[in-house]
Structure 1
Amino acid sequence: MSLKIAAEVYPKSPTERVEEPLVAVREYDEERHKVAVEKLERLCEVGQRGKPTLVTDLMGDPICRIRHFQLHVMLVAEYGEEGEVVGVIRGCVKTVTRGNSVYVKLAYLLGLRVSPRHRRFGIGTKLVQHLEEWCKQKGAKYAYMATDCTNEPSINLFTKKCGYSKFRTLSILVQPVHAHYKPISSSVAVLHLPPLLAVPMYNHIFANSEFYPKDIELILSNKLNLGTFMAIPRKYMSKCDPKRGILPPSFAMLSVWNTKEVFKLQVKGVSTLAHACCVGTRLLDEWMPWLRIPSFPDIFRPFGIYFLYGLHMEGKCGTHLMKCLCAFVHNMAREDGGCGAIVAEMGQRDPVRDSVPHWSKFSWAEDMWCIKNLEDIPKKCGPSHCFPSRSSSPVIFVDPRDF
């Protein structure tokens, strides 16, 4: 499929304006577009001169970030007769809760990139519009995107040109992986829950949350999922039986998603002094682990992350148990030499948020989610971007496939 769009061309005469079809939007073809898309991704991630840059390196096919959704697509924008790839966008469609156990089909738009030399020609807008049409054909009622609150060009594109509205603001919490193990209290036991047990528990816990995916079983059974874990007071071990739904008065649980097979990150452009300080803390931590120095991981080489999702805790010991679970995952990541950080994304009012260890300098508090109603609704019906019902829960379930 393709879509011709018009780019404005300005000749020497300031009063003369002509339009010429220059760009076609097409579905991604691996053999034809893979090399060009990879080049475009690298080109768009070059940061400001003299400032650190976080570079994302997709592993394998550029479509790998959305491959784990049953309904997904990637579109490219080709320029000129030679078909130069100047833009790309990805999207998927899934069924999620909108609150109060009500499900709706929702599209997620991500990975919009436009070549710096071809910006301000409306290419990004047309990519979004064409992807929205594909999502509507797949039954999506709403579409949403996420970006850092400081990314004004992206926010302006979606809110001012594409009709999206600011919807939720989440926090991304990042905990570096140190050289030493984190201690776990001997009074705490960590259980590994198979998907057969984790699915019904999650269905019950997150029934009233927003964005909880209906295909949670596929997520928990995915090869990238490293497991679902529950921390309980050890004194309740003999009385706890998750198979029969018998749980202790206090527990915490979460699942771990391994992004290493999808993408790796790398920080470039730091000063020599900053690089030396970071290396120094890690060397001291390795040589004298008893000092428990909060060392800085080696983020100057490609590294993967573990993403925590499905975080939940109950009871008066819930905070302590959640911290023990996070320490357990940290120790898992430490044994995995290629993992540099543990990441969780949570709503501002999520009760678990303050129990997740993180470094404030690594984390950022405002990940902006914007949403749009893809159906044609008369203005008298009210704001078309809002979910028809609002959740009574402050919890937003972040799908690990979105990250």
Structure 2
Amino acid sequence: MDDKLGDKILIREFNEERDSEEVMKLEKNCEIGSKEGISIFTNMMDDPLCRVKLYPVHVMLVAELLKNRKLVGMVRGCIKYVGTGSVGRHVNLGCILGLRVSPRHRRKGIGLKLVESIEEWLMRNGAQYTSLATEEKNVASTNLFSVKCNYVKLSSLRIYVQPVNSPPKDPPSHITLEKLSIDQAILFYNNHLRGKDMYPVDIDEILKENLSLGTWLSYYKEDDWDGLHDEDMINSRTPSSWVVTSIWNTSETYKLQVRKSHPFNFFHATLSHARDVIFPCLKMQVNYHSLQETFGFFFLYGLLGEGERLEELMNSLWSFASRLADQNKKDCKAIVTELADSDPLREHVPQGSSMSCINDLWYLKRANDQQASDEEEDNLMAMRPVGNVFVDPRDF
């Protein structure tokens, strides 16, 4: 291992006027593919804070070499107010996002110093717990968080990626697909998230964001859901089987650019970097003779379901999302969602040769200066996030 940089680097807050260009260069330099002559980088619309600025409490820290003021690392952090149904209270959850270290300056302790610095900032600003995610096969990251930083694995999640099918299939005639109003969706989610291990308290703000295309519910026509259009009755009687999802169009603000196009086997490599990068879809059809492709994706968020007959309902929602994306195929070329290993909906995600997935690990740690009873601590560490309801779409 190379010598540690120690006091040769300065960890400070991001300065938009001074650092934006260097941060974008560092982001690009850290992406998969640069060594193979293929450049995949995240276009953050010239806004390095786009992943965290929607939260009232957020920050971005950079690692700067003192000898030449060069930026060699960065990390973003924010605080979310989440509900913990099993514990029966709300907590301030600090989230660590987008840890990057320049390839030439890795294995020098910069990543550890960035994590420790962002943890300190989050705790100073009221975080009771800190959390982060990394891809399961990223051994360097898992060792950093679990061994050096003492994080406990909270849950295993799986990211599903599928190219937009053209033409998408129409839904079966015996299935109803209804779009909920924002108020209906808020009432529905609040009712069905209550009692879950971990869920967003500000679901109303999430659903009102401009990137949200809406919320759709799929159920069998035979159930004849009378209370759907009566907000006072929306939760009084639900169908025997139903699946609901909200659809986010990340294509509007967050794109990928693939330069010097390459056969699709390359996209396998990008999946190992997918947690913090909006990744391309495996086996996606691109023009291999072009110099670059720019595209985005639809994210299925708040994917929940109950009942015994979920497979057809899930397929109908997935096909609808594909049809919606197909209408916007110029910018949107993939459907993405994320589900916990323990989520029964995982069994009903449409399968096929075009579907790809990777494993994601979520880690949690209690802030050192926070007091918690042994029982509360055990309950929190045993929590399982509600699939992609825990994966806030604003992080993308």
Fold-level similarity (TM above 0.5): yes
Match of 1:69 among 52, 55, 67: 55
In the alignment, which residue of structure 2 is the partner of 1:179? Answer: 166
CA distance in 2, matches of 1:321, 1:350: 16
Match of 1:355 among 345, 348, 358: 348
In the alignment, which residue of structure 1 is the partner of 2:368? Answer: 375
Say which SS state the counterpart of residue 320 (structure 1) adopts: helix
In the alignment, which residue of structure 2 is the partner of 1:150? Answer: 137
The one-letter amino acid of 2:312's match is H
In the alignment, which residue of structure 2 is the partner of 1:401? Answer: 394
Instruction: Determine if contact 1:173/1:363 at 8 Å carries over to the other structure.
Output: yes
Displacement after TM superposition at 1:371 (Å): 1.4
Within-5 A mapping of 1:17-96:
21-47=7-33, 49-50=35-36, 55-96=41-82
Say which SS state the counterpart of residue 23 (structure 2) adopts: helix
Higher Cα radius of gyration: 1
Instruction: Determine if contact 1:256/1:308 at 8 Å carries over to the other structure.
Output: yes
- Residue 298 in 1 paired to residue 286 in 2? yes
Within-5 A mapping of 1:135-146:
135-146=122-133
Within-5 A mapping of 1:2-401:
8=4, 21-47=7-33, 49-50=35-36, 55-100=41-86, 101-237=88-224, 239-242=226-229, 243=231, 244-245=233-234, 246-267=237-258, 271=262, 296-298=284-286, 301-337=293-329, 338-358=331-351, 363-376=356-369, 387-388=379-380, 390-391=382-383, 397=389, 398-401=391-394
Q: Deviations over 1:345-397 (max 9, x none)?
A: 1111201112222557653342111111112479995997x554745897563
The structure-2 alpha-carbon separation of the partners of 1:346 and 1:54, relative to structure 1 and needing over 3 Å to count, comes to: farther
CA distance in 2, matches of 1:60, 1:261: 13
Instruction: Determine if contact 1:212/1:396 at 8 Å carries over to the other structure.
Output: no
Instruction: Determine if contact 1:174/1:359 at 8 Å carries over to the other structure.
Output: no
The one-letter amino acid of 1:58's match is M
Say which SS state the counterpart of residue 209 (structure 1) adopts: coil
Q: CA RMSD in A?
A: 3.1
Instruction: Determine if contact 1:164/1:370 at 8 Å carries over to the other structure.
Output: yes
- Out of 141-150 and 78-87, give the one that drifted further: 78-87
* Superposition TM-score, scaled by structure 1 size: 0.82
Displacement after TM superposition at 1:240 (Å): 4.1
Displacement after TM superposition at 1:310 (Å): 1.2
CA distance in 1, matches of 2:154, 2:225: 45
Say which SS state the counterpart of residue 174 (structure 1) adopts: strand
Displacement after TM superposition at 1:85 (Å): 1.1
Say which SS state the counterpart of residue 368 (structure 2) adopts: coil
Number of matched pairs: 368
The one-letter amino acid of 2:250's match is T
CA distance in 1, matches of 2:32, 2:107: 18
CA distance in 1, matches of 2:285, 2:373: 54
The one-letter amino acid of 1:204's match is N
Displacement after TM superposition at 1:401 (Å): 2.0
Say which SS state the counterpart of residue 62 (structure 1) adopts: coil
- Out of 39-48 and 146-155, give the one that drifted further: 39-48
* Superposition TM-score, scaled by structure 2 size: 0.83
